[in-house]
Structure 1
Amino acid sequence: METAVIAVIGTLLGAVVTHVFQRRTTERTAVLTRAEQLRQERISAYSAFAGALVDYRRGQNDRWYRAQRSPGSTEAEEARIDSYRLRSSAHQALIRVQLVCEEPQTLALASAAFEVTNCMHEASDEDDRSQRSEQARETLSEFIGTAAPSVR
């Protein structure tokens, strides 16, 4: 009888220990899966933002050049409208970054990169436009450099 009781207790103890270890493993796996999904979402959001901002910067340069060459022309108006479309895409991508990013410095750089790009078309002359374009490129590079460690 003692042997049977010891066997039952041993079996129950083994089942409890197995359950505890399986639960910990399941929880650890869930945490790792969530972290990987967030990492992938950040990669997607940061990449989409960078691409949208590059396109927006190109559109802003195009808008400025066309407005300088022939103010009020159909060509200049089309470039202006295209820049609005590109701004909308860049702003949507910025919102995605804001949703997945937890780092205040990265968020600040993303917003700064958007704002610098947004003001490019207001340049007073070619030197100012060139400086603004370079500043937009540099600010985007800073954002990428700051964001990259969180997705490695």
Structure 2
Amino acid sequence: MDVALIAVVGTLLGVVATHWFQGRATERTAALARTEQLRQERISTYSAFAGAVVDYRHSQNDRWFRARLEPGSEEAEASRHASYRQRTVARQALFRVQLVCDDARTRQLAEDAFEVTHCMHEAADDEERGVRSERAKEALARFISSAAPELR
């Protein structure tokens, strides 16, 4: 009887231990999957944001040139409206960055990149437009530099 009782207790302890270890392994696997999914979402979001800001900067440059070369023309108006559409795309991408980014500094750098790009069309002359365009590139580079380490 004692041997049977020891066997039953040993079997029960084995089942409990196995269940506990399997539960921990499942939790670890799920946590790794969530972490990788978030990493992939961040890669996608940050890349889309960078692309949208680059396109917005190009559209702002085009808007500035067309407004200076052909003020009031259909091309200048079309370019202005195209920059509005690009601003909307860039702002939507910024919202996604704000949703998936945990780092306050990286979120602020994304906002800075958007704002610097947004103000490009207000340049008074070509030299100032060039400076603003360069600042927009640098602001985006700072965002990318800040975001990259959390993706590795």
Q: What TM-score does the superposition give when structure 1 sets the normalisation length?
A: 0.99
2:26 aligned residue = 26
The two structures, once aligned, show a CA RMSD in angstroms of 0.4
Stretches of 4+ moved more than 6 A in 1? none
Name the CA distance, whole Å, in 2 between partners of 1:51 and 1:112. Answer: 15
1:150 aligned residue = 150
Residue 48 of structure 1 and its aligned partner are, at CA, apart by 0.2
Percent identity between the two aligned chains: 64
Name the amino acid aligned to 1:19. Answer: H
Name the CA distance, whole Å, in 1 between partners of 2:131 and 2:104. Answer: 26
In the TM superposition, 1:129-148 aligns within 5 A as 129-148=129-148
After superposition, give the CA deviation of every residue in 1:84-111 in whole Å (9 maximum; x if it has no partner).
0000000000000000001011000000
Structure 2 gaps of 5+ residues are none
Name the CA distance, whole Å, in 1 between partners of 2:146 and 2:119. Answer: 23
Residue 2 of structure 1 and its aligned partner are, at CA, apart by 1.1
Q: What TM-score does the superposition give when structure 2 sets the normalisation length?
A: 0.99
After superposition, give the CA deviation of every residue in 1:64-87 in whole Å (9 maximum; x if it has no partner).
000000111101000000000000
Name the CA distance, whole Å, in 1 between partners of 2:139 and 2:28. Answer: 38
Q: Tell me, what secondary structure is at the counterpart of 2:136?
A: helix
Name the amino acid aligned to 1:25. Answer: A
In the TM superposition, 1:1-152 aligns within 5 A as 1-152=1-152
Name the amino acid aligned to 1:9. Answer: V
Residue 30 of structure 1 and its aligned partner are, at CA, apart by 1.0
Structure 1 gaps of 5+ residues are none
